[in-house]
Chain A
């Protein structure tokens, strides 16, 4: 399972990086989404992978089989909320730039020297 999770993170990160290096806003937004998925899975795995374990210790039950670390779950929740909000911002901003400029190129081109 470790190999599966690790390679999933790797593939998503690679795809994300490839996409954010594109010159159009649409693939870049997709790439950002990919990267945030990758990092969310990665964060989830930082507390070690444990299947079918509760995130809370049960003192009443005798012989607890173990538990999964709850902190990464809290971290990943925060990260999901933030990355969702950020994706919304970047979509709105790209739309604004597309409407103003009439194209969705992400580079500044020649107008860079003017301000």
Chain B
């Protein structure tokens, strides 16, 4: 067993209480440990990514309990990709928080960050549906703390809404898991995949309900229309670096949709085309509403938040094809849009700190300190987000268009919304950064911060990743196509998790007499006989 697989969960899980308990009043040590933890996390996740690229999914059995009874962590290319994405974003966010002084405006920023990392990494790694729920709760409870970091009336009120919305989502998650368990008698994703695949068509009513409830939960997390209402108010009111970190939170929902609806409920399997029928209109609407929101936003933060909704819509259009080439394109766009959204949130926060009273409202105000630099960073981020050449957003959209060839509705929507986004971004950028010179006011003072250079480096670093993603688009998309191939051949994943399970079941049943077999049938409840025989031999 490769013990590194659990490191992305254990490392932050040790660091977070250490920071809270041991270095509570010493911000300096907190910062050192937090940055060191993030660098170590990034190194570990890159190592795992190298491991995962070499072939079959690797399984880590917690407590060495055998699947499907124990909880497993599974490292495949998709989860490795998400881990690296999360660690890189986390490092940039911590550096920005140090540089801009956000981490000293409230308590426990660094430990909450570590808990957040633990929850997100766990959600990406776990191979058990109920464990996924638990890690969702870990990442949510850390995000509640981060969301209201440094307090304030508007932030607390938005925080209450965010918490209530997500609690309702968690309740729905439990209802979905309960429904699925009551039909299949299992919650291990690989075991579920086997059991769902052999269900007779006449008895799939309840499992379809479970599948769609689960889809709703993940759509809440991914902020797909019509479940996106929590996102703009949350992201606008959250502290800048936290909003940047939340760029990965919507991707947790997207990841869960991709994972569950290719592994457990594959397209054309037991639930038929239900997943793509639900996802497609939701993705189209998200794209339209997101980009129209970009055009209609009255402040810069809200504009970036709506562009996140739009970008989730774009990638879901690709994922909803449930087709290998389109999934690869969607993954490329997902990596790109996560970094682009995070960079834009950081740039918006840089501008907000300097503008003072007008905040991020789209009204002309006297030019800010370092106006030129921040404006050009916003420009680069906007180009990436809107999908204009030369940055990766353009390539990503091109690949998605290529993957959805022949579907005119998707082509028209993506192209028209791109135009709307370009107009929206240029309007916002010119009002905030160019019209400033026409007001004739004095330059706003430079805000006090521990290290402006570090803050600019963090935001610039994310933009540099975007540039690298563009330059190395060939190798990157080749690797992501390999990932898509692995996603669409889930048998390797199932075999890795369920290795030896069939033999053990056979040994266990042959050792006992008949009444045990009766009880085994009883245990399965309503599960069809076919499922029993499948796991029994």
Contact = CB atoms under 8 A, between A and B. Distances in A.
A46 B163 contact: no
A48 B175 CA distance: 15
A113 B236 CA distance: 9
Interface residues of A, number: 43
Interface string A97-114: 100110000101001111
A93 B156 contact: yes
Contact of A32 (B164, B361, B525): B164
Contacts of B148: 93, 96
B153 A97 contact: yes
B144 interface: yes
B168 A20 contact: yes
Main secondary structure of the interface of A (DSSP, over half): helix
B361 A112 contact: no
A40 B159 CA distance: 25
Main secondary structure of the interface of B (DSSP, over half): helix
Nearest to A57: B519
Contacts of B464: none
Interface in B152-173: 152-154, 156-161, 163-164, 167-168, 170-171
A25 B156 CA distance: 12
A111 B161 CA distance: 14
Given A57-B519, A89-B141, A93-B163, A35 B153 contact: no
Interface in B482-537: 515, 519, 522-523, 525
Contacts, number: 127
A28 B161 CA distance: 10
B378 interface: no
Given A108-B157, A115-B236, A115-B301, A20 B182 contact: no
Given A86-B141, A115-B360, A66 B522 contact: yes
A78 B134 contact: yes
Contacts of A111: 153-154, 157
Interface of B: 130, 134, 137, 141, 144, 148, 151-154, 156-161, 163-164, 167-168, 170-171, 174-175, 177-179, 181-182, 185, 187, 233, 236-237, 298-299, 301-302, 352, 359-361, 515, 519, 522-523, 525
9 contacts: A20-B164, A28-B164, A32-B164, A71-B187, A97-B156, A101-B156, A114-B299, A115-B154, A115-B236
Interface of A: 20, 25, 28, 32, 35-36, 38-39, 42-43, 45-48, 57, 64, 66-67, 69, 71-72, 75, 78-79, 82-83, 85-86, 89-90, 93-94, 96-97, 100-101, 106, 108, 111-115
Given A32-B168, A35-B171, A57-B519, 16 more contacts: A25-B160, A38-B171, A39-B171, A46-B181, A47-B525, A75-B187, A78-B130, A82-B137, A90-B160, A93-B160, A100-B156, A101-B153, A108-B233, A112-B233, A115-B360, A115-B361
